[in-house]
Amino acid sequence: MRISFLLVFIALAATAVAWVTVHAANQKPPAAGEVAPTFTLPSQDGSQISLASFRGKWVVLYFYPKDMTSGCTIEAHNFQRDLPLYEKQNAVILGVSLDTPDSHRKFCTKEGLTFRLLADQNHKVVDAYGSLGNFAGITIANRNTFLIDPAGKIARTWTKVEVRHHSEEVLAALAELKE
C-alpha cells in the first residue's frame, strides 16, 4: 500500500513539474509599448496593493525566486540602497515572488527593506508577466524586471537579471527614458 501511494505521489509530482516546465516555456513576457497587466496582490503588511494605484508614477516591478536567499537578498538590498534615487525619479519599487505575505514580512524585517514585496501564491501575476519558472522541480518566479511608465505601459524589460548591478541598470534606463 505504501509503495502504491509513493508511486502515485511521484507520478503526480513529475506531472506537475512537467506542466510547470512546459507552461513556463510557453510564456511570453509583455514587451515594451504594451499595456502592463493589472493586478492586486497582498503585501508584507497584509494590505492589498494594486498596480492601478501607482498611475502617474514609474513602477519598477521585479520578480524574484525566493525570500531569504542570497541572490534575492543582494537584489533587494541594492534596490533598498537606491530607493532615494528612485523616489527622486517619481518611481516606486514592487517586488513579487510566490512567497507568502508572512515570509515577505520576515524578509523585510530581517533585511531592513521598506518597499513593498507582493505575494503571488496563485502565480497569476507571475504568469501574466511571463515570469513563471522552475528550479530543481520547485515552482518559482523567474528573475525578471519590468519598468512601467506613468501611463501604465511597459517601458523596458529585463529577463534573467544579474543581481549585482541590476538596480543601476534600471536607474540608468529610467534616466534615459525621462529625457
Q: Kindly tell me if the per-residue pLDDT of 79 is higher than 70.
A: yes
Q: Kindly tell me if the per-residue pLDDT of 21 is higher than 70.
A: no
For 34-40, what is the mean pLDDT? 97
Catalytic one of 36, 72, 93, 171: 72
Q: Is 29 helix (H, G, I), strand (E, B) or coil?
A: coil
Identify whether 108 is a catalytic site residue. no
Nearest to 83, CA basis, from 105, 69, 107, 62 = 62
Q: Is 132 helix (H, G, I), strand (E, B) or coil?
A: strand
**Span 83-142, pLDDT tens digits:** 999 999 999 999 999 999 999 999 999 999 999 999 999 999 999 999 999 888 889 999
How do 91-97 and 116-119 pair as beta strands?
A: parallel
Neighbours of 35 (CB within 10 A): 11
For 34-58, what is the mean pLDDT? 97
Query: What CATH number was assigned to the domain covering residues 2-178?
Result: 3.40.30.10
Query: What whole-number percentage of the chain has pLDDT above 90?
Result: 78
Q: What does the domain layout of the chain look like in residue ranges? A: 2-178
Task: Note the pLDDT of residue 82.
Answer: 98
Task: Note the pLDDT of residue 1.
Answer: 56
Higher pLDDT, 69 or 17: 69
Cα(96)–Cα(65) distance, integer angstroms? 9
Q: Kindly tell me if the per-residue pLDDT of 68 is higher than 50.
A: yes
Task: Note the pLDDT of residue 13.
Answer: 44
